[in-house]
Amino acid sequence: MRDERSRLLDILEAIENVEKYFVLGKEAFEESELIRVWMAHQIQIIGEASANLSAEFRHQHPQIPWARIIGMRNILVHQYLGTDWQEVWDTAVTDLPKLKTEAQRILRQTS
């Protein structure tokens, strides 16, 4: 079974995977289905890893909007044909950098 640290590392890896492509800019994102789907998939991974963190762990770190992260994953998985690509972009460029900072901070504290 994967522990909390492993799941945080999964989250950070997925964020880094998104970063590889959002640096190309919004125009590349809008023009490339592959980039859009890649980013959405990585956000799904982040949501899945978050959902598999213990409730106690999530409760200990309320500064991270776990319910929103997991909710985004659920929307992407279950309502794929209705994906709001602007929301995916906004998540990638606005929310993920904040999540990255917090996840790194938590990892440093638990090392």
Nearest to 38 by CA among 87, 74, 92, 98: 92
Q: How far apart are CA 63 and CA 79, in angstroms?
A: 27
**Annotated catalytic residue, options 5, 58, 61, 73:** 73
73 noted as active-site residue: yes
Alpha-carbon torsion, ordered 80, 37, 74, 66, to 10 deg: -150
Catalytic, 36? Answer no
Q: Of the listed 7, 58, 68, 78, which one is catalytic? A: 78
Return the active site residues.
73, 78
